[in-house]
Amino acid sequence: MIQFITRRMITLVGQVLLVATIVFLMLRLVPGDPARSVLGETASEEQIATMRHKLGIDRPVWEQYVDWLGNAVRGDLGTSIISGRDISSDIASRFGNSAELIVISVVLSLIIAIPLGTIAALKRNQFIDVALSSIAMLGLSLPGFVVGTVLVLLFGLKWRILPQSRFVEFGDDPMAHIKLLILPSITLAIGNAAVILRMMRSSMLEVLRQDYVRTARAKGLNEARVVRAHTLRNAINPVVSLVGLEVATLLGGMVIVEQIFNWPGLSTLLMSGVISRDYPVVQGVVLVIAIVTIIVNVIVDITYALLDPRIRLT
């Protein structure tokens, strides 16, 4: 296990370097000038040239790359072209907010989807299976911005149970923070739960057809024990893999939910960086997302091994 983790950490360096290089180069291929973004639409060409020089983006690309990479290795992601703020501290505060939302929504979706997916599989083609599959389909079909907006209108405006308000840190006001967390978590969990439910159902159906399940039943084990001890544990591996992918995707990809619920996460930072061509911000955020994605995948592999002793991490 330790060997496995060490090897993965070594390859992580290569993978992150590759991602960082690709992002660095691709950003510079995208049309649109950061200097124009800083100065606004009426800036003259002379002012644009002055600003490009000030920002150091008129230097050769390789020179910019070497500088940026050298600083990044030392843990300095630089300052934002647009806001002038330290990128590392901005990422740190946003990362915590995103991680919190992701973890809670994923846990919520697992709590909903694993039992329901199991029930749907056990009641295959019966009313409850059809009903659950239909609900899952609905959850999959409804985009996050629709679910989020409807929740805001209902809970924030009509019933005024969870009105939109200023983001507060958990440490400053735990109750207010938890109230803020409810609607975005539900919005994210609905989509995730639908995917996991369908995966759980199909995975369970696959396992239920296996010989050892038939043998377990033939031995006279009751159905609950068959499901718990022989089926569920074997059916859950694809779900673990799916959750790993979801976490990585959500980290940089929940901009709509963050915007609707005014949640200051990593996605909105990334999005504003892309829109304003704030190169250092985009590079920094992508770097962090790449590292986290790889780490999450390692954790997924380890979880596999823990769940299924037949898997050896070598």
Question: Least distance from C-beta 35 to another protein, angstroms?
Answer: 8
Region for residue 79 given its phi and psi (left: phi exceeds 0; alpha: psi -120 to 50; beta: otherwise):
beta
Question: Least distance from C-beta 44 to another protein, angstroms?
Answer: 5
Instruction: Specify whether the CB–CB gap between 21 and 64 falls below 8 A.
Output: no
Residue closer to another protein, measured from CB, 130 or 275: 275
Using alpha carbons, select from 108, 296, 98, 100 the residue that is nearest to residue 197.
108
C-alpha–C-alpha distance, residues 8 and 129, integer Å: 40
Question: Least distance from C-beta 254 to another protein, angstroms?
Answer: 13
Residue closer to another protein, measured from CB, 148 or 244: 148
Question: Least distance from C-beta 42 to another protein, angstroms?
Answer: 5
Alpha carbon of residue 22 to chain centroid = 21
Residue closer to another protein, measured from CB, 82 or 216: 82
Residue closer to another protein, measured from CB, 41 or 211: 41
Residue closer to another protein, measured from CB, 40 or 220: 40
C-alpha–C-alpha distance, residues 22 and 81, integer Å: 20
Q: Is 86 helix (H, G, I), strand (E, B) or coil?
A: strand
Using alpha carbons, select from 151, 238, 144 the residue that is nearest to residue 197.
238
Which residues would be at the binding site for another protein (CB under 8 A)?
Answer: 30-33, 36-48, 50-51, 54, 82-85, 90, 93-94, 149, 152-153, 156-157, 160, 163-167, 259-262, 264, 268-269, 272, 275-277
Question: Least distance from C-beta 237 to another protein, angstroms?
Answer: 37
Using alpha carbons, select from 112, 94, 97 the residue that is nearest to residue 239.
112
